[in-house]
Amino acid sequence: MIKVLIKYVENCFDYLEIKGHANSDVRGKDLVCSAVSAVSIGCLNNLENAKALDIEIEEGLIIVKKIANVSTHDEIVLQTLVCGLKTIEESYSQFIRIKNL
């Protein structure tokens, strides 16, 4: 199960944690894990100022913490990431759960 924790402060992104594996299929054929990875890394690669965020990426773990003011562009990118994850959850809720802190 992939567990996603999201925290907003005053309706703005503050923290995101994506942890675990979907285990919807064997390693290398797990489409849910692939979708979560593609959405996450694709969005993070589109950030204008990643220095405003503390980003940790390891196998089975992505943590993004706001450490400075985030531009409007980057806030939209982060909201797009959350939207993508919620879309995956709508179709595959047995493999991914999103919780707001």
Q: CB of 95 within 8 A of CB of 1?
A: yes
Q: What is the pLDDT of residues 23-64, one digit of tens each?
A: 999 888 999 999 999 999 999 999 999 999 999 999 999 999
Question: What is the average pLDDT value for the chain, to the nearest integer?
Answer: 96
Q: Which of 69, 63, 62 is nearest to 48 (CA)?
A: 69
Give the integer Cα–Cα distance in Å for 10 and 13: 8
Give pLDDT, residue 28.
85
Mean pLDDT along residues 15-23: 97
Give the integer Cα–Cα distance in Å for 92 and 64: 23
